[in-house]
Amino acid sequence: MKKFVKNIGIFAIILVWLLLSVAIWIVPDKAYSDAERRNLAKFPNFSTEFGDDFDGYLQDQFPLREKFRSLKAMSEYYLWGKKDNNGIFVKDGYAAKLVYPYSQADTDNFTGYFSRIYQNHLQNSNVYLSVIPDKGYFYADMKMDYEQAVSDLRAGMPFATYIDIFPTLTRENYYRTDTHWKQETIIDTANTLRKGLGVKTVSQADYSVKLYTEEFSGVYLGQSALPLKKDTIWYIESDMLKNCTVKDVATDKIVSFWTPEAADKDGYNFFLGGSLPLIEITNPAGEEGKELVLFRDSFSSSLGAWMVDGYSKVTLVDMRYMSAQMLGGLVDFDGADVLFIYSTLLTNQNRGLFK
């Protein structure tokens, strides 16, 4: 009897494996993984690298791949006590990425790149620097040296006045499943920046908070493959913001602070269309001639709305998607406030972005 049961078990395993092997040739390939936010491997061309490329193809297109990823992640995390999965760790329901160790080389690359931009374009501007801590800052596990990171950034950009926003933030300011901070919670951060820039602070009473979605799956939810609860996205709105004109300079199209049409694959793209290269916000209620330029990463997609009041024009520049040679012809820096504000996720890993 035991032998019969054993044989049935072996037969079942072989049958499942055969069915999955057949399915990979029948089921259409997927081009994109919504969970991992990346393109999936296509069937490779025949070449000397075919073997390695085919292995990658099989891993990406394997039937029920997401189910197996989740099963593997839960086994390693809950059963074997592994602290992270795919570099993502979870504590108290919050997922964060291991930003470790501190990279002096990436910091030097960052400061060198933006120092050249300062020399070429910002001699007549009021220049500031601020650093956004990633969620790992609020945990002791595998924590990089944030004090050294900020110190080196400041030393590498001595032309910029530093504005410290670390004390204004806690873990609760961030989405549980995503990299970013929550727009409705960062008024203290925005006001600290505004004080540092020498402009008036804003009041929460001037803005209403509205619900966008309760089904936000942040980037860490997919990358960790763990069954985390989805996040809720709230956003701020005001008459002043409604009266602003928001332009995507690359396409010369008028867009909006709120762009649900851009949030199909990433809910955070609801804010200002995501990481567009160059956005101009014109505020008819702002002080004429007073302008702000934000050199930014994706965090400023939600920060931007808090910074508009008082300025006649706010320009958001994302150098990950445009060339430094283009700046002079696209942005007028003369007399403007210029704020470099970047997350430690980027200052600590950027050599493929800023050259």
- CA distances in angstroms from 150 to 108, 196, 345, listed in the order given: 12, 17, 12
Q: Looking at residue 318, what is its pLDDT?
A: 97
Residue pLDDT, tens place only, 228-278: 889 999 999 999 999 999 999 999 999 999 999 999 889 999 999 998 999
Q: Vertex 276, ends 275 and 280: CA angle to 5°?
A: 125
How do residues 315-339 score in pLDDT, each as one tens digit? 999 999 999 999 989 999 999 999 9
For the cut 50, the answer to whether the pLDDT of residue 80 exceeds it is no
* CB contact at 8 A, 41 and 60: yes
Both tokens assigned to 45: 């061309």
Q: What are phi and psi of 293, to 5 degrees?
A: -115, 125
Report the distance separating Cα 272 and Cα 306, nearest Å: 12
Every domain of the chain and the residues it spans: 1-62, 96-347
| pLDDT at position 286 over 70 | yes
What integer pLDDT is reported at residue 99 of this predicted model? 80
Q: pLDDT tier at 307 (50, 70, 90 boundaries)?
A: very high
The answer to whether residues 89 and 98 touch, using CB atoms and an 8 Å cutoff, is yes
How many whole angstroms separate alpha carbon 345 and alpha carbon 132?
9
* Mean local confidence (pLDDT), 276-300: 97
pLDDT exceeds 80 at position 16: no
Question: What distance, in Å, lies between the first and last C-alpha atoms of the chain?
Answer: 68
| Mean pLDDT, residues 286-300 taken together | 96
- Indicate the length of the chain as a whole number: 355
Helix or strand (DSSP H, E) at 312: strand 311-317
Using the structure block, give the residue that is written with the tokens 């929460």: 204
Whole-Å CA distances, 42 to 30, 31, 199, 332? 8, 7, 52, 44
Would you tell me the crossing angle of helices 146-156 and 104-121 to the nearest 10 degrees? 30
Contacts (Cβ under 8 Å, ≥6 apart) of 164: 130, 192
- The arithmetic mean of pLDDT across residues 41-60, rounded, is 56
In this predicted structure, the answer to whether residue 30 has a pLDDT above a threshold of 80 is no
Q: Is the pLDDT of residue 19 over 80?
A: no
Mean pLDDT estimate for the chain: 85
Mean pLDDT calculated for residue range 25-47: 59
Give yes or no for a contact between 286 and 331, defined as CB atoms under 8 angstroms apart: no
If we measure between CA atoms, which residue out of 184, 139, 134, 190 comes closest to residue 163? 190
User: In the chain, where does DSSP find H-type helix?
Assistant: 2-26, 50-61, 65-74, 104-121, 146-156, 187-197, 219-224, 239-242, 300-307, 327-330, 344-347
Residue 173 three-state SS: helix
Q: Tokens representing 85?
A: 């999965």
Tokens of 273: 């269309």
Distance between CA 268 and CA 75 in Å, rounded?
Answer: 29
Residue 224, pLDDT above cutoff 80: no
Question: Cβ(247)–Cβ(255) under 8 Å?
Answer: yes
Name the residue type at position 142. M
Per-residue model confidence (pLDDT) at position 62: 53
Residue 52 DSSP label: H
Cα separation, 166 vs 341, in Å, equals 12
Q: 97 near 83, Cβ under 8 Å?
A: no
- % of the chain exceeding 90 in pLDDT: 63
Instruction: Choose the most confident range, by mean pLDDT, from 85-89, 91-95, 112-116.
Output: 112-116
Using only C-alpha atoms, the chain has a radius of gyration, in whole angstroms, of: 24
| pTM for the model | 0.81
Q: How far is the C-alpha of 240 from the C-alpha of 232, rounded, in Å? A: 25
